Amino acid sequence: MTSDTDHNGPGYLRSYGRRQGKKLRPGRERLVTELLPQIAVLPGTPVRDLFDADIKSLWMEIGFGGGEHLSAQAQAHPEVGIIGCEPFINGVAKLLSEIDEHDLQNVRIHADDARDMFPDVADGALERVFILFPDPWPKAKHHKRRLIQTPLLNELARMLEDGGEFRFASDHMGYVRWVLAFVLKHPDFEWLAEGPDDWRQPPEGWTTTRYEQKALAGDKMVYLRFRRIPRG
């Protein structure tokens, strides 16, 4: 049972659904007990120190679900350190199995609410942040739980380097309008739409996520890229 108070962050409401689904298979259970502690984000450790010295830049994916996109990006960009945040343990276990199978050295996991670890991310430390198909919380009385609101954007703006990118995708048009309204009025971001059809095309290097796969048969997909405007 989750509640508003099961998150310790600074006044944040819970933005995710369940933390656990079906019981984990023994192999995945073992990865959670043995591999996760080796690559877990340690509270109080500056994120740059979590990675080897040859890592050139840092990306973060918030709410990676089953980790399909994160794993593909980590394989395609071994020079990038990717921090994945996800409180749903079955999704974490799935990403761990990818990390194990492909021997990925450049992924670190925070198996909890992403917002808990923002204090460990220095100003301008991230080159890219992904939030893909976040929980849309469609009922009006739940909109306050939506992850993307001004406090989160303030944190993204702080953590992103000048010219860094925030990438978002959703099939929920109400949430797309919501995000555009919040981001376009934010002084630190600009929308990188290059043409009228830009937001219908996935950005380069895209891998279909599990949620997107389920949604593909139904509604439209929207992919938005925002740039962190260089500090003055």
Ligand X SMILES: C[S@@+](CC[C@H](N)C(=O)[O-])C[C@H]1O[C@@H](n2cnc3c(N)ncnc32)[C@H](O)[C@@H]1O
Catalytically annotated residues: 135
H helices, E strands: number in the chain: 7, 7
Does position 137 interact with ligand X (CB under 6 A)? The reply is no
Distant-in-sequence, close-in-space partners of 78: CB < 8 Å, separation ≥ 6:
105, 106
Q: How far is CA 179 from CA 36, 174, 191, 226, in A?
A: 32, 9, 11, 11
Under 8 Å between Cβ of 137 and 166 = no
Piece in contact with ligand X (CB under 6 A), picked from 56-64, 178-186, 193-201, 224-232: 56-64
- Least distance between ligand X and beta carbon 232 (Å): 30
Does position 171 interact with ligand X (CB under 6 A)? The reply is no
Strands 80-85 vs 160-170: parallel, antiparallel or unpaired: unpaired
Which residue is associated with the tokens 């290097």?
205
Question: Footprint of ligand X on residues 150-169 (CB under 6 A)?
Answer: none
Under 8 Å between Cβ of 147 and 185 = no
Which of residues 170, 172, 209, 228 is near ligand X by CB under 6 A? 209
Piece in contact with ligand X (CB under 6 A), picked from 33-41, 85-93, 158-166, 192-200: 85-93
- Least distance between ligand X and beta carbon 142 (Å): 13
Does position 84 interact with ligand X (CB under 6 A)? The reply is no
Nearer to ligand X, 113 or 165 (CB): 113
Does position 91 interact with ligand X (CB under 6 A)? The reply is yes
Strands 160-170 vs 222-228: parallel, antiparallel or unpaired: antiparallel
Nearer to ligand X, 15 or 71 (CB): 15
Query: Measured between alpha carbons, how far is 83 from 104 in angstroms, rounded to an integer?
Result: 12
Q: What does the block give as tokens for 160?
A: 């992103």
Q: What does the block give as tokens for 174?
A: 């109400």
Does position 98 interact with ligand X (CB under 6 A)? The reply is no
Piece in contact with ligand X (CB under 6 A), picked from 52-60, 101-109, 182-190, 207-215: 207-215
Piece in contact with ligand X (CB under 6 A), picked from 38-46, 50-58, 61-69, 198-206: 61-69
Does position 114 interact with ligand X (CB under 6 A)? The reply is yes
Which residue is associated with the tokens 């079955």?
90
Q: Which residues bind ligand X (CB under 6 A)?
A: 15-16, 62-66, 85-88, 91, 113-115, 132-135, 147, 209-212
